[in-house]
Amino acid sequence: MSYSEIKSGVDRTILDWIDASEEKIIGISKQIWDDPELQYQEYHSAALLSGWLEENGFTLERGAANIPTAFVASYTTGEGPSIGILAEYDALPGLGFDVAPVRTPNGKNGHACGHNLYGTGSCAAAIAVKQAMDANALKGTIKLFGCPAEEGGGAKVFMTRDGVFDGLDAVITWHPANASICTQASSLAIYSVRFRFHGRAAHAGVTPHLGRSALDAVMLMNMGVEFLREHMPVSNRIHCVVTNGGIAPNIVPELAEIWFMLRAPTRADVDTLLQRVTNIAQGAAQMTETTVEVLKETKGCSSNNIASAVLSDVALANLKLVGGPKFTEEDWAFAKLLNVGVTDQEKIENMRMMYGITDEHATDDLYDGIGDCMLEGTTAPYSGDAGDVSWQAPYCQYSIACQTVGTGNHSWQQEVCAGSHIGQAGMICAARALACSAAEFMGRPELMKAAREELDKKLKLYPYTSPLPADATPFDED
C-alpha cells in the first residue's frame, strides 16, 4: 500500500492524540518553564521528558555520549526507515521574567529561547508518531534525541562525534520563532579559538631588553586581524576579547591571551579563516620573539547547517496541512501589550530577514499564517550545534511562531511567551507538523533514498569531520 493511501489515517491518529493530550503537553512545558535549568544541569527537565517517553512505551538510553542530561528514546515496529526528532530543554542565565505585560525580571534564569516548548513539543511529536505507527501498521523506528546545552554548550557536536546520530534516515526539528516556515537557511560554521602567547617576564623599567612581551604579541595579532578584515569574504565574521593582558605595567607580561570567534558560511570557509588568523598569530609571535599556543575551545565549535530540499518540501506541505498556531483572542490582546514599543519597521525587518515574509500581516503583533519562503541558498547570521547533526542524515527544520512579531530570541518577551498560551499554541502546532512529517518520512522509503542521495552529493564536496578534538568532553576546563 502506498503512503498516500494511509496518510489521512496516520495524520488523523496523530492529530487526535495531540488534541486529546493538549492539556498534558502544555503542563509539561510549563513545568520546565517554572524550573529553568542551565546547560548540562538539566536534570529535572531531562528526567521529566524521558520519563514521559518511557511511560509511553519508548526504550530509553540515558546519559548518551557520557552526558548525564542527554538521552535517546526509541520505539520500533520493525524493518523500515529510522527517523530522528531533536529536542532541547536548557535555559538561559538571568533571563527569568514573570508572565506579565511589562518587563518584570524575577531574578531567576529563564526560557528566553523557548526550549521548554522545543523539548516538550518534540517529545509530544515522537509519542504521536508512535501512536500512528501502532494504529496504522507503519514499519520503522522513531527516535527522540534529548539534547542538552544548546546555549553555548554544544552538546550535539559531542553527541555527533560519539555516533549518537548514526544510522538515521532523516532528522527533523524545529525552533520557537516569530513566524512559521520550513527553513532551508544555512547557519554559520563557528570556531572558538584562544591564542595564548608566552614571553619572558622582566622589570619593565630596569631590564626591558631582557623581556619578551606576550601582550605585544596579542596587540600585534589583533592589528593583523584588523588588516585581514579588508581581505576576507564579507560573509565571514570575526569577534574577539582580550582575556589576559598581563599583570601590571612594570612587569613585561610573560603570558597574554586573546580569544576569537570565527564564523563563516561553511566548515571549509571557517577552516580557511582559522588558517589565516593562525598565520597572523605566528607572525606576531615571530615579531615579538614569543611563542603561541592555538587552543580550540571544546564547547564553541560547530558546523554550518545543510538542510535537505527533498525533506523540506514534504515538511512544508505538512505544516500547511496542520495550519499555523491557533492563537486566542486573549493571546492577541496580550501580544499587543508585549509589543508596546516595538515599531512597525522592526517588525517588517524581523519578518523579512528571518522568514522572507513581506505580506500585509508582517506588522501584526502575532503571525498565525504559514510563510511560503524556505530561504533556500541563504545563510542565517547565527551558529548552532544542530549544524553537525545535519551532516549525519538528511535534515529539515521548522521555525514555528511562539512569540510576538518584532521581538528576538533571548528577549524578555520570548521568556514571557514561552510561559504563556502564545508559546504553547506554537508548540502544539510544531508537535502536529513534526509528527505528520516524521510519520510520512517513515512511510516513504523511496523519499528517504532520494534525500540520502542529495546529502551524499553535498558530503562528496566536503566530507564531515568533527570540529572537536577526539578526546574532548563538554566538562573539560578550557
Which residues lie near Zn ion (CB under 5 A)? 113
How far apart are CB 115 and Zn ion at their closest, in Å? 6
Asked if residue 289 lies in contact with residue 222, where contact means CB atoms within 8 angstroms, the answer is no
Question: Each residue of 353-380: b (16+ CB within 10 Å) or e?
Answer: ebbbbeeebbbbbbbbbbbebbbeeebb
Residue type, 470: A
How far apart are CB 346 and Zn ion at their closest, in Å? 20
CB nearer to Zn ion: pick between 114 and 140:
114
How far apart are CB 309 and Zn ion at their closest, in Å? 24
- In angstroms, the CA 433 to CA 11 distance is 10
Asked if residue 179 lies in contact with residue 371, where contact means CB atoms within 8 angstroms, the answer is yes
CB nearer to Zn ion: pick between 153 and 394:
153
The sign of the CA dihedral 376, 303, 435, 367 is negative
CB nearer to Zn ion: pick between 113 and 125:
113
Question: Angle CA(214)–CA(215)–CA(216) in degrees, nearest 5?
Answer: 90
CA distances from 229 to 197, 226, 260, 283 (A): 22, 5, 14, 16
Q: Which residue has 549525519 as its cell numbers? A: 392
CB nearer to Zn ion: pick between 173 and 213:
173
How far apart are CB 33 and Zn ion at their closest, in Å? 14
- Nearest residue to 301 via CA among 173, 184, 156, 409: 156
* 3-class DSSP string for 126-143: HHHHHHHHHHHCCCCEEE
Grid coordinates representing 322 are 496542520
Grid coordinates representing 9 are 489515517
CB nearer to Zn ion: pick between 246 and 423:
423
How far apart are CB 399 and Zn ion at their closest, in Å? 11
> How far is the first Cα of the chain from the last one, in angstroms, to the nearest whole number?
55
CB nearer to Zn ion: pick between 133 and 301:
301
How far apart are CB 390 and Zn ion at their closest, in Å? 16
The gap from C-alpha 259 to its chain's centroid, in whole angstroms, comes to: 22
How far apart are CB 38 and Zn ion at their closest, in Å? 13
How far apart are CB 415 and Zn ion at their closest, in Å? 12
CB nearer to Zn ion: pick between 113 and 447:
113
Grid coordinates representing 165 are 546520530
Residue nearest to Zn ion (CB): 113
Helix (H, G, I), strand (E, B) or coil at 44: helix
CB nearer to Zn ion: pick between 68 and 408:
408
CB nearer to Zn ion: pick between 188 and 292:
188
How far apart are CB 411 and Zn ion at their closest, in Å? 12
- In angstroms, the CA 216 to CA 246 distance is 10
CB nearer to Zn ion: pick between 90 and 216:
90
The sign of the CA dihedral 423, 428, 432, 437 is positive
Asked if residue 399 lies in contact with residue 284, where contact means CB atoms within 8 angstroms, the answer is no
How far apart are CB 426 and Zn ion at their closest, in Å? 13
